[in-house]
Amino acid sequence: KQEVTQIPAALSVPEGENLVLNCSFTDSAIYNLQWFRQDPGKGLTSLLLIQSSQREQTSGRLNASLDKSSGRSTLYIAASQPGDSATYLCAVSTRPGNGNQFYFGTGTSLTVIP
Amino acid sequence: EPEVTQTPSHQVTQMGQEVILRCVPISNHLYFYWYRQILGQKVEFLVSFYNNEISEKSEIFDDQFSVERPDGSNFTLKIRSTKLEDSAMYFCASSLGTDTQYFGPGTRLTVL
């Protein structure tokens, strides 16, 4: 069974700092990987999706990379802002077909201090 | 921008009662999902639904759970006889293909 781990569990940084969140998974035969943010008591907002054939994806100040062979992904956030404070979740799916079953990590809780 | 909606936002029920959680996926999406998140734990996959049938389900999705797409817009999750351990946030998601999944805001289910 696919296991997804995220390190660190919590991170606190001053505003303006660049930061990296880490995600690792045990089964490298993934179909795609998706990064989400979750605000307290709220749903999940999709940030970036990386297909297994891709190495990275960028959206604004966010850059996600994927190294399938080593079972790792990173989410890079540039010039962090207080509004970036949230829990960031990594999820991987292991097979295509009629619907992807995503396996989630426990998340990294990010606090950006003004 | 289209979004997934869920009702109710919070449902309180007595143990043993049936509950139905409702979702309206994004209109042109073809794949539908239910996930749950017990407080303080990981988001867990329950079931995926495509072409009017279940395509995958997890070991959590036992006989007390069922899903239905009763019309062209709604997607429901029914729990027949709720247990205390069913208390969780339930998320509905949809996708156009086997790619980006868009999540609703969730329904918090509290079983007393």
Residue B98 — very low, low, confident or very high, per pLDDT cuts 50/70/90?
Answer: confident
Q: Do A102 and B101 touch (CB under 8 A)?
A: yes
Mutation pick from B1, B92, B103 vs chain A, by most beta carbons of A within 10 Å, is B103
- What's the rounded mean pLDDT across residues B33-55? 93
- What's the rounded mean pLDDT across residues B98-109? 91
Residue B19 — very low, low, confident or very high, per pLDDT cuts 50/70/90?
Answer: very high
Q: Which of A51, A101, A106 sits opposite B48 (nearest CB)?
A: A101
How many residue pairs from chains A and B have C-beta atoms closer than 8 A?
Answer: 69
User: Quick one: which of B8, B24, B9 has its CA closest to B71?
Assistant: B24
Q: How far apart are CA A48 and CA A72, in angstroms?
A: 15
The predicted structure's pLDDT at residue B97 = 85
8 A C-beta contact, residue B108 and residue B11: yes
Tell me how far the alpha carbon of residue A18 is from its chain's centroid: 15
The predicted structure's pLDDT at residue A97 = 58
- What's the rounded mean pLDDT across residues B13-25? 97
Average model confidence (pLDDT) for chain B? 93
Count H helices, E strands: chain A?
0, 11
Q: Do B100 and A46 touch (CB under 8 A)?
A: yes
Task: With beta carbons under 8 A apart, name residues in chain B contacting A98.
Answer: 31, 48, 50-51, 55-56
The predicted structure's pLDDT at residue A99 = 63
- Both tokens of B39, joined, read 């407080």
Which residues in chain A come in under a pLDDT of 50? none
